[in-house]
Amino acid sequence: MNELEIRKFAKNLDIDLIGFFSTDSLVECLPHLEKRVSQGFFTGFEGGTPEERIDYHRDFPSAKSGIVIGINYYQEVKKPVDDKSRGALAAVAWGKDYHLVLREKMLLLMAKINYELTRQGKQTVIYKSYVDNSPLVDRGSAYRAGLGFFGKNNCLINETLGSYFFIGQILLDYEIDFEPVKPIPDGCGDCHRCLDACPQGALGQGFSLEPSRCTAYLTQKKELTDEEESRVNNSLYGCDLCQQVCPYNRDLERTKEKDFWIEPETAYPEIKEIVNLSNKGFQRKFGKTSAGWRGKKVLVRNAKLFEKNQK
Ligand code: B12
């Protein structure tokens, strides 16, 4: 099967970006991964050593090629103007958990591919799909497949979708017929808006991220030092500051994925409501979002820090 056929299937499934990659080790990312380890800039969420992270065959020894998808999650949601004290959930946590949304897209895509192969009297393909749930470097695979370039804010940036897209990858026991692309070189030039916008300077000189200064990380970290507590800002979960100022994120189209659509009152919840969340209330409000994975305790802690940091 060739890439054109697969691209058509993807379009019918409202998959915004798709690319293909060889499963040779992701050596182009190795120096960057090693540098992060030597600087102590890892979060514990990544899993695996740099060598393990670039090896597609570690988890799937018979992998012969890969597909990577990108799903737009951009929408403009303004903070409600009222007399309530409200915190912010980053867009990563708006609507249904993206892990579930992307896994379903990949499942449907693979079902279509296998249906088509069966129709042609060919053998079906064995595969494994991943979204943020393995040591594999999702941005690295998407970069190799030409979905975007690495920005100074660390995000993978696409010329059309900016950086507000999630990444999912599929390893297949099958050789897809595709034309390898040349990865896109730097697109940031002299721009340093994201470096200036980060209140704690977590991005340094760019293409790097110091977790203990990154609000997105701190809102997910279980134990915080006093200094880290003061850096949580008004975020209840995640942080979008370094994306919001990026020129590639201007005038973007709203995501077609209705499961991500959200009301302003939900995107910017009342702090009082979070502080007083019951277990049931937490499950109802956050159980199906990506902000649910660290549990109620962390979210309530962030709401309390919001109150403390306001004083
Ligand atoms: C750990 C993690 C985090 C950590 C650390 C983030 C970081 N920058 O390292 C924390 C909790 C802070 C975090 C925050 C966010 N995350 Co996160 N995170 C991950 C995770 C699990 C691993 C990332 C990782 O390996 N980091 C370590 C560094 C070494 O790797 P990297 O960020 O991919 O960076 C590469 C570049 O720096 C690269 N590089 C730099 N320059 C150059 C130049 C060249 C030529 C090359 C080849 C490579 C290169 O080298 C690195 C290795 O490839 C991935 C899922 C996955 N399994 O891949 C999601 C992932 C990266 N996160 C994602 C998202 C959406 C976010 C947030 C926007 C969420 C939010 N609003 O809070 C923020 C963005 C923060 C930021 N500015 O990066 C998306 C990114 C989508 C995109 N378009 O870029 C991912 C891919 C999840 C997904 N499957 O969609 N995240």
What is the chain's mean pLDDT, rounded?
96
Does the beta carbon of 29 sit less than 6 angstroms from any atom of ligand 1? yes
Q: Does residue 118 surpass a pLDDT of 80?
A: yes
Rounded to the nearest angstrom, the distance between the alpha carbon of 29 and the centre of ligand 1 is 12
Residue 150 contacts residue 115 (beta carbons within 8 Å): no
- Strand pairing report for 17-22 and 88-89: unpaired
| Atom 36 (ligand 1) nearest CA | 154
| Atom 57 (ligand 1) nearest CA | 132
pLDDT in tens, 145-170: 999 999 999 999 999 999 999 999 99
DSSP state at residue 220: T
> Ligand 1 pocket check: which of 92, 106, 154, 195 to mutate, most ligand atoms within 8 Å of Cβ?
154
Residues in the chain: 311
Ligand 1 atom nearest residue 91's Cα: 71
pLDDT in tens, 33-52: 999 999 999 898 999 999 99
Does the beta carbon of 137 sit less than 6 angstroms from any atom of ligand 1? yes
pLDDT of residue 234: 81
Q: Where do the H-state alpha helices sit in the chain?
A: 3-12, 30-39, 50-53, 98-119, 138-144, 193-197, 215-218, 226-229, 241-244, 264-267, 271-275, 279-286, 296-310
Does the beta carbon of 207 sit less than 6 angstroms from any atom of ligand 1? yes
Name the strands in the sheet holding 127-130, side by side, starting at the edge strand that comes first in the sequence: 17-22, 65-72, 165-172, 127-130
Rounded to the nearest angstrom, the distance between the alpha carbon of 117 and the centre of ligand 1 is 34
Q: How far is CA 21 from CA 147, 179, 241, 264, in A?
A: 11, 9, 31, 38
Rounded to the nearest angstrom, the distance between the alpha carbon of 30 and the centre of ligand 1 is 14
d(CA 64, CA 174): 5
Q: How confident is the model at residue 20 (pLDDT cuts 50, 70, 90)?
A: very high
Q: Does residue 233 surpass a pLDDT of 90?
A: no
Q: Where do the H-state alpha helices sit in 62-137?
A: 98-119
Does the beta carbon of 150 sit less than 6 angstroms from any atom of ligand 1? yes
Q: Does residue 203 surpass a pLDDT of 80?
A: yes
Rounded to the nearest angstrom, the distance between the alpha carbon of 139 and the centre of ligand 1 is 6
Would the CA dihedral through 272, 308, 300, 208 be positive or negative? positive
| Atom 61 (ligand 1) nearest CA | 139
| Atom 9 (ligand 1) nearest CA | 209
Does the beta carbon of 28 sit less than 6 angstroms from any atom of ligand 1? yes
pLDDT in tens, 280-297: 999 999 999 999 989 999
Residues serving a catalytic function are 132
